[in-house]
Amino acid sequence: MNNDFNQHNDQYSELLVRRFEEMIDHGSQYFFDVEDFEAIIDHYFENKDINKSRLALDYAQQQHPTSVSFQLKRAKLFVSLNQASKALNLLNDIENIDPFNTEIFMTKGSIYSQLRNYNKAIEEYNKAIKEAESPEEVYSNIAFEYENMGDYDRAIYFLKRALKYSPESESILNELAFCYEITNRLEESVSFFTTFIDEHPYSRAAWFNLGVDYNNLDMSEKAIDAFDFVIAIDPSYTPAYFNKANSLATMDKHTEAIQAYTDSFEFEDPDSMTYYYIGEAYEKLTNYSQAAFYYRKSIEKDEMFADAWMGIGMVKDEIGHHFQALHYMYKAIKLEPDNPEYWYMYGDTLYKAGKISEAEKAYKKVIRLDPTNNDIWADYSSLYDQQGSYDKALEIIDQGINQQPDNVDLVYRKVAYLMSGGKVNEAIKQFAIGLIMNPKAYGDLFEYAPELSGNPALIQLIREADSDNSEN
C-alpha cells in the first residue's frame, strides 16, 4: 500500500514539474497552490538543480508572498550555495514572524553545525524540542553535535533519549554502538544492548551490535550466538553472515566460516572482500587450489584489490612455485607500493627464489617504511649469515639493536652470528646480556642455530639464570 502511495506521489510530482517547465518554456502563467510548488521545488532540490530551484522559488513567492514555507526553502537554497550568513539572516527574519516553527531552528542548527559552531547548533536544536513532531530527530542531532565536539558521554545520553521515542531506529542503535566502541566502553555497551534486547527481543540492530561487541571482547562463541539471532530475525541480513564467519575464522573454524560466507550468497551477490576471506579460509586449511580460486574470484570483482593479488602470491609460494609467486606479489606492490608487509613477503620469496640482491633491496624497503618491525632486522641480517658474510650480518643486526634496543630476539640472534664468526667469548657475553633482558626468550636462538643448544658455556649461563630466578 505504501509503495503504491509513494509511486502515485512520484507520478504526480513529475506531472507538476512538466507543467511548471511548460509554463516557463511558453512564457505563460499557471497557478500552483503551496503544496504543488513545494513538490516542484523539492524535486529540483533532490536533483541538485540549483538554477531551477531558484526559479521555482521566485515564482512560488510571487504567487504566495506570505508563505513561510518558501522562505525556509530559500534559506536552504542559500545553504546549498555556501551563503550561510544570508541563510541565517533570512531565518532570523522568519523566526520573528513564526517563532514556534521548529523547522526554522532545525535549519539554523544544521547551518551552525556546518560552520563548526557546535554549541550554537545545540542551542538552536534545543529550541526545537518543545514543538517537535519528531523529538528523536532533534535529540539525535544534538547527540551528533556532541560527537563532533568529542563529548561522547553527552552524545550517549541524548541518543538514549532519542531511542525512547523511536526504539526501532537502527541508525540510533548503531550510533550508540559507535559511541561505546570509540570510548572503549565495550562492557557497558554489552550491558546496554542486553537490557535493550530484554525489552525488544526482535531488534535486529541490537543483536547485531551485541555480536560486534562480543567480537571486540574476543568472546567469539557469544558473538556467533548473537549473529545467529540476527539471521533468525532477518535471514536476508548479510552483514550477520559476514561477521559470524569472521568470528568462526577467529576460532580457527575455517570450514564453518566458509559455509557462513557462502550462505550469504542466497541474498546478496558476493563482493571482492567476501571472496577474499573465503580464499583466506581455504589457505588456512592448506587447500591451496581452492584458496587461489577464490582469490581470483576476488580479483574478477575488483582487479585493484591488492590483498587478493598478494593472496595468490602467498599460495604459490606455499606450494614452492616461487617465481610464479613473485609475479602476483609484484602486482600487489604496484597497487600499494608503500605497504611494508608486501615488501617483506616479497623479500622472503625473492630469497627462496635465490634472488639475494633483490631480496636485500626488498628488506631495505621494509626498513625504510617500517623500521619498528620486530622481525625484519633478523631476516635481513640472516641473508648474509647464510652466505657466510658474518661481519655484514653483525653490522646489520647491530643497526637493528640500535633501532630497537628492547628487542631481545635481536640480541640473541647476534649470539648466533658471533659464534658463526668464531667470536666465542663475545657471543657468550652477548648471551648473558640476553638472559638479563629476558631469561626465557632464548628459544628462537636455538631454533635458528640448533647446534648451539648443546653449547656447554651457554647451558651453564642458562642454569645460573634459572637458579637466580628461583632464589628471587
In tens, the pLDDT along 383-393 reads 999 889 999 99
pLDDT above 90 for 13: no
Asked if 410 and 401 count as a contact pair (C-beta separation under 8 A), the reply is yes
Catalogue all structural domains in the chain, each as residue range(s) with its CATH number. 30-391 (1.25.40.10), 392-472 (1.25.40)
DSSP codes joined into one string, 303-318: TT-HHHHHHHHHHHHH
Residues near 103 by beta carbon (within 8 Å), at least 6 away in sequence: 72
Angle, CA 185 vertex, CA 180 and CA 189 arms, to 5°: 60
Half-sphere exposure of 240 (CA within 13 A, CB side): 23
Percent of the residues in the chain that have a pLDDT greater than 90, as a whole number: 70
Please state, in angstroms and rounded to a whole number, the distance separating the CA atoms of residues 136 and 127.
14
The grid coordinates listed for 69 are 514555507
Asked if 345 and 310 count as a contact pair (C-beta separation under 8 A), the reply is yes
From the list 417, 434, 432, the residue with the least C-alpha distance to 464 is 432
The average pLDDT across 344-354 equals 96
For CA atoms 376, 378, 381, 386, the dihedral sign is negative
Residues near 54 by beta carbon (within 8 Å), at least 6 away in sequence: 77
Provide the b/e sequence for 172-192 (b: ≥16 CB within 10 Å).
bbbbbbbbbbeeebbeebbeb
pLDDT band at 468 (very low <50, low <70, confident <90, very high): low
In tens, the pLDDT along 109-149 reads 988 898 899 999 999 999 998 888 889 999 999 999 999 99
Asked if 343 and 333 count as a contact pair (C-beta separation under 8 A), the reply is yes
Q: How far is CA 202 from CA 190, 198, 239, 337, 469, in A?
A: 17, 9, 17, 47, 57
Q: What is the residue-averaged pLDDT of the chain?
A: 91
Residue with cell 541474498: 267
Count other Cβ atoms within 10 Å, centred on residue 119.
9
In tens, the pLDDT along 53-93 reads 888 888 888 888 877 788 888 888 887 877 788 888 888 88
